[in-house]
Amino acid sequence: MPHINKTKVRVIYADTDQMGVVYHSNYLKYFEIGRTELLRELGMSYKKIEEYGILFPVKEAFVDYRVSIKYDDLIVIHTQVSELKNVSIKLKYEIKNEDESIIYSSGYTLHPFIDRNGKIVRPNDDIYNILLKAK
């Protein structure tokens, strides 16, 4: 069974448009929060991975907007590894309300593993094994 991180976030006013609805690009920010917290929960922060010289740029992102998120909503970002390959990782997200009865949005991000020179690489065994245990 895949490991799912659940991170709660309260929507702030700065994340919304004039109508009090979360601006579309902020969903990707919420995905990043979920991704960061998943790694932390697995035992290795983004910062630590970068210290190993491995970076995870976003190559591809998809968001399915289902129900508007509004100012002051408490959302729960569900994040899990959906694919792990030697040189990339794909993460799946769902943003739900607090009691998880509404799915506001879902989506994914795809990340190649690269070194500081931009070359695609396989992460070292420590990093790879941490990611593998989430699969």
State the pTM of this model. Answer: 0.95
Model pLDDT, residue 23: 97
**pLDDT tens per residue, range 96-121:** 999 999 999 999 999 999 999 999 99
**pLDDT tens per residue, range 49-83:** 999 999 999 999 999 999 999 999 999 999 999 99
Q: Is 22 exposed, middle or buried (0-12, 13-18, 19+ CB in 10 A)?
A: buried
**pLDDT tens per residue, range 22-40:** 999 999 999 999 999 999 9
Is residue 17 part of the annotated active site? The answer reads: yes
**pLDDT tens per residue, range 117-131:** 999 999 999 999 999
Catalytic residue among 17, 64, 115, 126: 17
Model pLDDT, residue 42: 94
